[in-house]
Structure 1
Amino acid sequence: MLSTDDAEVYDLCVIGSGPAGIILALDYARLNPHKKVLLVEYGNKKQVNGNQLDSSIQINNPVNHHQPYECTNKGLGGTSATWGGRCVMYDEVDFEDRSILNGNCTWDKNILIDIQDHLPKAAEYFECGKPDFDLTTLTGVTPKPIAEGFKQGIVSDNKLERYSMPTRFGERYAADIASQKNMTLIEGFEARDFEQPNEKGKVSFLTLRHVATQKQIIVTADKFVLAAGAQESTRILLRNPQLFKNIGGSPDSLGKYYQGHLSGKIASVHFYGDPKKTDYGFIKDAGGVYTRRRFQFDNNFLKENNLLNTALWLDNPLYFDPKHRSGAMSFMYLAMITPVLGKKLAPPAIAHSITKGRVNNIPGHLGNIARGVPRSFTKPASIFYKRYISKRKLPGVFLYSPKNTYALHFHAEQIPFEGNRMRLAPDGEGLIIDYKLTDADVASVIKLHDVLDNWLRATGCGELKYWFEKDELPQAIKTMSKDGLHQCGTTRIANSPDKGVVDTNLKVWGTSNIYVCSSSVFPTSGQANPTFMLGAFAVRLSRHLSYTKNKSKKSFKTHFQRVKSIDLN
């Protein structure tokens, strides 16, 4: 543990040890073996249930936003402790300032181009194989339509999501962190107060507070990075307005434009062709990594029709409704709602997506199980082994439909809305989160379902069957959609402090050595989960911080090539 008389001066201090913090700190330490890195984590191995930070967060819309303890985890590895492992890439349209975004797309395609070089290294850390997110690029896989008769056009079925182990970053990289001679990890410390920057924007020290004893220590470093997740990175900046002295005060956008995703099911898709030719489940690439295909929409079509980026994928019927008549699904549903057992099978947010928090018609489920014996038990047993025992876990459970009918899950971008925000409570410590879905968010989801329906019908492939009347769809979406897991926008990237909080290199405006590495820097949420993209940003920031004026391009290139060859195993 550090002490108040510790005279150590660090080259880099990283606050937060989730995937972004661990990737950044490890990658920088490996690139710069003669520089000292400090990794600071709020949680610790001895922590009990509950913590002061999460307990001080107030959610003003619990219908559409999960509670703090369902959104994040404290401790080494951060939220990856309950992460599902889905790795998805952002799209070109996410970096274009479309009219529906009201001028709030404050990054551009140059960042997307720049990030490409860092995808392979990010994929190594996530253990999700090669960063190929299109079915046509997979080695050893012959592309075929997702269903008989499907044709490419304004709707595509080739976009992929890839799956990590899922990699629990704390467990996976603890030994690597401990073996890195130039790296120090301290746990159980909260980042509190930064020194006010000098005229050149330089900040020399940060005060940390020991969570258990409340004792304060000072850490001196050449560069600081906030990688504490969107909520805590934003809270730290809100609590430290002196950081923005050189630009006349905190940026107006700080804490604002909070986004996640609209997510849920309002329809099923019925394909007309042979059900045995429908690609409803997972595809393994040549390296044995699970991938899965998604319906997405042409970038130009989205722009021309002023619609939000959205992905849809085939899913199971609602587990809680025994009308699905699947003994295996009923068995798994009953397991998920069983006290104690259910909590061990899935984290709260994922469990809620399956059960919807409902205990429903248990006799009907028992009837399904009885009619489906022995598969009611053998199928879940096989799934249990693949999902919980295998080294590379089965990411999910998708069951074959002999009727060629599948529920359709949507995952949609949100408009960067100024009223969605994180702000300090009156005591200056707590965090209040204001969050709602706008009518434009909801309307885009409905419109794109209609687009997919019309496309499937026009090509003779299939049709959508809505679960609600058309006039009921908006309220149904507003009732079912619940996020808070994919937190974007509150410290967004922009080319000037009047538009955002950090520059394109993630440096906080008004400072010369404070950075943010969190999905909160993403000005748009797109259709993608932000975790993989954030990992790529962490690698990119590591390389940016490693390239200083006193290094020649030639020496940096040699150094970069040496580190690329490091075996993460």
Structure 2
Amino acid sequence: MIIDLEQDSTASSTLTADVCIVGAGPAGISLALELARERPDWNIVLTEAGGPENASQAEKDIYKVALGEKNYSVLDISRRRKLGGTSAHWGGWSKPLDDTDFEENPAWDLPSWPISKQEVNKYIPRALTWIEIDSGNFDISDIRKTQSGKLLPLRKDAKISEQLFRFSPPTRFGDRYYDDLKAQDNLTCLLHANCYELTQTGDKIISAKVRSLNGADVEIKANNFTLAMGGMETTRLLLNLRNDEAANGEGIYSDHLGRYFADHFGVRPGEILAPEGLKYSRFGDASGPIMPVLTFSPDSIRTSHEHNSCMMLQASAAPDSLLAGYGGAKASGFHPNQYWHYSIQMIIEPRPNPASTLTLTNERCALGLRRMKLDWAPHEDDLASAYRLFSALGDELGQTGLGRLHLTKPNSLDVRANVSGACHHLGTTRMAANSSDGVVDTNLKVFGQQNLYVASSSVFPRYGYSNPTLTIVALSVRLAQHLASQNGAAA
């Protein structure tokens, strides 16, 4: 059932549920429907601050955030106050996190994921169904068998390796699952239901209060609550729940809450000369659209403590031929092949940086919630490691005789100042094995709370370069199974 609080004046002022989920993006919708189907004896309430259409200016004003010294140019476009959330502008890029993303980086001072890749992978097949990808094969070696001419013949001991993206149509969760939400008898989806308060007794949330901007007000009493509002708004609601109390405890009182804000960002450091027809960009395959990417090898990440970033190649016209500059292929040790110029686009794994923060200001929005300030501070190691990856590709091309590299945009203060995000809000409610290292536990429950959970990429403790949507949905499926296994009391 779907109720729009802006249009339905008969909506009850109080609802009772087994589980209340705040936020109806990919995480919230998949969690709500998984739970409702798994537990037909339960009542599920899903609330969404927006409606089926794009947000009005008044609704967008709720999101207003102050910025620190560094600009974050995607701030306004990175959040969508509508049913389906950011899937409305998602490009469909999908890939599980890599093995090394779950491993500790000794050069960093924070623990990595407290659950294994194998644990997350249990839920990837179901997540792929939600995002409408037919093939679950992300093994690049299988693609090499059919697409070998489109990939570099990398040496076994090379510092460079490869991984594989697949693509969702992309699934617009609000449109694709609207009828499912409407038809599910034990699920109530409230639209234009802005959550402005969580009521707490001791260490237990007893209700969530939501209202439309025109005044319709509903209180939802539930056994368990999950915040799935996106990384920034979820963090904001938790900070407001803490209010001015000191960050000297666990969970909402943890000093980790609001820290380590991160987003994937990119840089175009230069170009390469390499064999023609390389396809380290999106193209069609019999198994569906795919995109191979070039990365550091797992051994390089483990032994040299590099970030797990990736590179894509785009064939391009160069004003001055690199080949001519080397005086001919054979004389420079090139293999006797045809060559193309390719520009390099990188996606960089950000290092969790405690100085990169979301904090509350004293200004309040129309809901009465305190607004946030974002101080985005990418770590200086981020770009340094990315440029080493670019250099490693040049070394591999030179040593194999496959091409040459040309650095056109060296790492500099100007480059660092002008990087822009990819609309992936990561890290500010990080998952940890112990409350001293994060905000939520391995079941996504907020430390120190009986019944409050987070379903968001903000729980990621390490980020890799993969777009987060597939992993978010996998974690939501996992959370649904955890909650569904309970007897109805706080899980």
Superposed pair shares fold, TM > 0.5: yes
SS of the equivalent of 1:240 reads helix
| CA deviation string 1:251-287 (max 9, x = no partner) | 110000111123021111211x4x14x2354343444
Assess if the C-alpha contact under 8 Å between 2:252 and 2:446 holds in 1: no
The answer as to whether partners of 2:14 and 2:219 remain within 8 angstroms in 1 is: no
Query: What is the aligned partner in structure 1 of residue 132 from structure 2?
Result: 127
Task: From the superposition, tell whether residues 239 and 92 of structure 1 become closer, same or farther in structure 2 (CA, over 3 Å).
Answer: same
Choose which of 161, 168, 178 in structure 1 pairs with 2:165: 161
Shift in Å, 1:31: 1.0
| Equivalence for 2:56 | 48
1:509 match: 447
Q: Which amino acid aligns with 1:284?
A: G
The CA distance in 2 between the partners of 1:237 and 1:6, in whole Å, is: 24
2:82 to 75, 79, 86: 75
Give the CA deviation at 1:107: 2.1
Alpha-carbon distance in structure 1 between the residues aligned to 2:252 and 2:161: 47
Return the alpha-carbon distance in structure 2 between the equivalents of residues 310 and 145 of structure 1: 24
Matched, 1:203 2:205: yes
1:282 equivalent to 2:286? Answer no
In 2, Cα distance between equivalents of 1:248 and 1:491:
9
Q: In structure 2, what is the equivalent of residue 112 of structure 1?
A: 117
- Residue 305 (structure 2) pairs with residue 306 (structure 1): yes
Q: 1:427 aligns with which of 363, 377, 395?
A: 363
Instruction: Give 1:413's match in structure 2, choosing from 326, 329, 349.
Output: 349
Q: Secondary structure at the match of 1:8?
A: strand
**Residue identity matched to 2:32:** A
Q: Is the 1:85–1:165 contact (alpha carbons within 8 Å) kept by the matching residues of 2? A: yes
Counterpart amino acid of 1:419? Answer: A
Is 1:486 the counterpart of 2:435? The answer is no
Deviations 1:131-172 (A, max 9, x none): 22222345x962515445443444455411110101111111
**Offset from partner CA, 1:47-66 (integer Å, 9 cap, x none):** 42452555521122554x22
In the comparison of the two structures, how many residue pairs are matched? 459
Q: 1 CA distance for matches of 2:360 and 2:25?
A: 23
Correspondence list, 1:342-381, <5 A: none
1:446 aligns to what?
387
The one-letter amino acid paired with 2:113 is W
Partner Cα separation in structure 1 for residue 262 and residue 349 of structure 2 = 8
Structure 2 regions of 5+ residues with no counterpart?
321-337, 365-369
Following the alignment from structure 2 to structure 1, what is the Cα–Cα distance between the partners of residues 249 and 394?
A: 53
CA RMSD of aligned residues (A): 2.8
Q: Indicate if the aligned counterparts of 2:315 and 2:340 stay in contact, CA closer than 8 A.
A: no
TM-score scaled by length of structure 1: 0.75
Indicate conservation of the 8 Å contact 1:123/1:131, yes or no.
yes
Given that 2:226 and 2:455 are in contact with CA atoms closer than 8 Å, whether structure 1 keeps it comes out as yes
| 2-structure distance, mates of 1:249, 1:436 | 22
Partner residue in 2 for 1:212: 214
Identity of aligned residues (%): 28
| Counterpart for residue 221 of structure 1 | 222
Q: Is the 2:210–2:218 contact (alpha carbons within 8 Å) kept by the matching residues of 1? A: yes
Where does residue 330 of structure 2 map in the other structure?
Answer: none
Question: Does the CA-based 8 Å contact 2:74-2:420 persist in structure 1?
Answer: no
Match of 2:257 among 254, 259, 282: 254
Sort the Cα spacing of 1:245 and 1:216 in 2 relative to 1 into closer, same or farther, 3 A: farther
- Distance (Å, rounded) in 1 between the aligned partners of 2:315 and 2:470: 25
* Cα gap change, 1:509 to 1:29, in 2 (>3 Å): same
The residue that corresponds to 1:15 in the other structure is: 22
SS in 2 for 1:255: coil
Please state whether the residue corresponding to 1:544 is helix, strand or coil.
helix
Any residues of structure 2 matched to 1:393-412 within 5 Å, and which?
Answer: 403-412=339-348
State the one-letter code of the partner of 1:441.
D
Q: How big is the shift at 1:434?
A: 0.3
2:328 counterpart residue number: none
The whole-number CA distance in structure 2 between the counterparts of 1:69 and 1:550 is 39
- For residues 152 and 177 of structure 1, do their structure 2 counterparts lie closer, same or farther at Cα, with a shift above 3 Å needed? farther
CA pair 248-136 structure 1, distance change in 2 beyond 3 A: closer
SS in 2 for 1:270: strand
From 22, 35, 41, give the equivalent of 1:34: 41
CA distance in structure 2 between the aligned counterparts of 1:72 and 1:158, rounded to whole angstroms: 31
Q: Once the two structures are superposed, what CA deviation does each residue of 1:468-513 show, in whole Å capped at 9, x if it has no partner?
A: 3xxx422353144200611111000012222211001000111111
Q: Does 1:181 align with 2:185?
A: yes
Paired residue type of 2:376 = Y
Contact 1:81–1:169 under 8 Å retained in 2: yes
Cα shift at 1:97? 2.0
- The structure in which a higher percent of residues are helix is 1
2:68 to 56, 60, 64: 60
Q: Is the 8 A contact 1:206 1:219 kept in 2?
A: yes
Asked if the contact 1:54/1:68 (under 8 Å) is kept, the reply is no
CA distance in 2, matches of 1:158, 1:8: 50
CA–CA distance in structure 2, aligned partners of residues 225 and 444 of structure 1 = 36
The change in CA–CA distance for 1:59 and 1:484 in structure 2 (over 3 A counts) is farther
Of 161-170 and 442-451, the range deviating more from structure 2: 442-451
Tell me the equivalent position of 1:297: 296
How many Å separate the matches in 1 of 2:283 and 2:11? 54
User: In structure 2, do the counterparts of structure 1 residues 455 and 203 end up closer, same or farther at CA, with 3 Å as the change threshold?
Assistant: same
**1:527 aligns with one of 438, 450, 465:** 465
Query: In 2, Cα distance between the equivalents of 1:253 and 1:495?
Result: 13
- Counterpart CA distance in 2 for 1:203 and 1:99 is 38
Query: For 2:251 and 2:133, how far apart are their aligned partners in 1?
Result: 44
Deviation of 1:423 after TM superposition, in Å, equals: 0.7
Q: Aligned to 1:430, what secondary structure does the other structure show? A: strand
Call closer, same or farther: CA 1:440–1:549 in 2, change over 3 Å. Answer: same
Secondary structure of 1:72's aligned partner: coil
Corresponding residue number in structure 1 for 2:378: 437
Q: 1:420 deviation in Å?
A: 0.3
* Amino acid aligned to 2:24: S
Cα gap change, 1:489/1:473 in structure 2, threshold over 3 Å: closer, same or farther? same
* Distance across 2 between alignment mates of 1:202 and 1:245: 19
After TM superposition, give the deviation of residue 99 of structure 1 in Å: 2.5
> Which amino acid is the alignment partner of residue 444 of structure 1?
S
Structure-1 separation of matches of 2:131 and 2:431 = 24
